[in-house]
Copies of this chain bind each other. A is one copy, B any other.
Amino acid sequence: MTLTELKYIVTLAQERHFRRAAERCFVSQPTLSVAIKKLEDELDVTIFERNRSDVRVTMAGERIVSQARKVLEEAELVKQIALEGKGQINLPLRVGAIFTVGPYLFPHLIRNIKPIAPEMPLILEENYTGVLRQKLRNGELDAIIISLPFEEPDVEIQDLYDEPFEVLIPAEHPLAKQEKVTRKQLEKENILMLGEGHCFRDQVLNACPGILKHSDETSLPQGTSLETLRHMVASGLGITILPSSSSDKHIYDSDTLVERPFAGKTPYRRVSLVWRKRFSRPKAIAALVQAITSCALQGAASV
């Protein structure tokens, strides 16, 4: 049984005439005759009662033809769905981002992708780089937003923007009175840090190698998110270092917390989009990149 044969019987049932039905199927009359016979033999049912003057659908044939029509309709839907799928940007896209990017990027992303790909809902997730990598690899995520360095086989990486770090200080702290903060000065302070696993932690330690020892000695609590750190700074536990995007807007005013840039070479992180090389929706990725780079993140420099 083939879809062609089903089309043949549906058409013949309509036309009740082999030659006309054959024409409508764009085949010759013998082709139709043989195909019909073949299907009847296979199903072992007479679908059409032939008569020199007339072709009639049998009682059993009626039911078969009507079911065949259903099959053809469903098959037509396959093509329809495929056509929709071709657009690539009208299906959900599963996007992950590291904890220190997601909360600040996603709101802008959602807003900016609407006009570009209104039919492409984003399924979002925040997680550690390692978890995101795993989920990208096994297909649970289509694209992830991480911070370099990032090594992984069979993926494409598109750099999105560079984001400077800044120091978050309680307003009454002596350092708050300075325009800029030097790395040397930080080494004498209690620097609140994110826990292990957050790549931002490593990046901060990389940018200010001197602070680790000090923080270890005082065994300060480790933040579970940038916002947690912010709260702890506000409560006077110490100071911290944040990526600039995280100071976009928050609940503390400048009487409580102030941000100060680094003196000298500004440390920064590079945020990138990663997807599987064989991922089948380049248009969806392009839309995502466009939406993110047009975010004009506060203090971020597009690359």
This chain's copy number in the assembly: 2
* Contact of B139 with A56 in the complex, beta carbons under 8 Å: yes
- Bound Cα distance from A64 to B68, whole angstroms: 20
* Contact of A45 with B85 in the complex, beta carbons under 8 Å: yes
Closest to A90 in B: B60
**CB-CB contacts of A149-169 with B at 8 A, as 1s and 0s?**
000001000000000000000
Kindly provide the distance from the CB of A142 to the nearest chain B CB, expressed in whole angstroms: 8
- Bound Cα distance from A120 to B93, whole angstroms: 54
Interface residues on A, range: 35 or more
Contacts of A279 in B (CB 8 A): 49
* A302 interface residue per 8 A CB criterion: no
Question: Which residues in A have some Cβ–Cβ distance to B below 8 Å?
Answer: 1-3, 6, 43-46, 49-51, 54, 56, 58-61, 63-64, 67-68, 70-71, 74-75, 77-79, 81-82, 84-86, 88, 91-93, 138-139, 142, 154, 276, 278-281
- Bound Cα distance from A270 to B67, whole angstroms: 42
* Contact of A58 with B1 in the complex, beta carbons under 8 Å: no
* Contact of A1 with B1 in the complex, beta carbons under 8 Å: no
- Bound Cα distance from A85 to B2, whole angstroms: 19
- Bound Cα distance from A211 to B50, whole angstroms: 46
Contacts of A46 in B (CB 8 A): 280
Contact of A71 among B74, B82, B92 (CB under 8 A): B74
Contacts of A64 in B (CB 8 A): 78, 81-82, 85
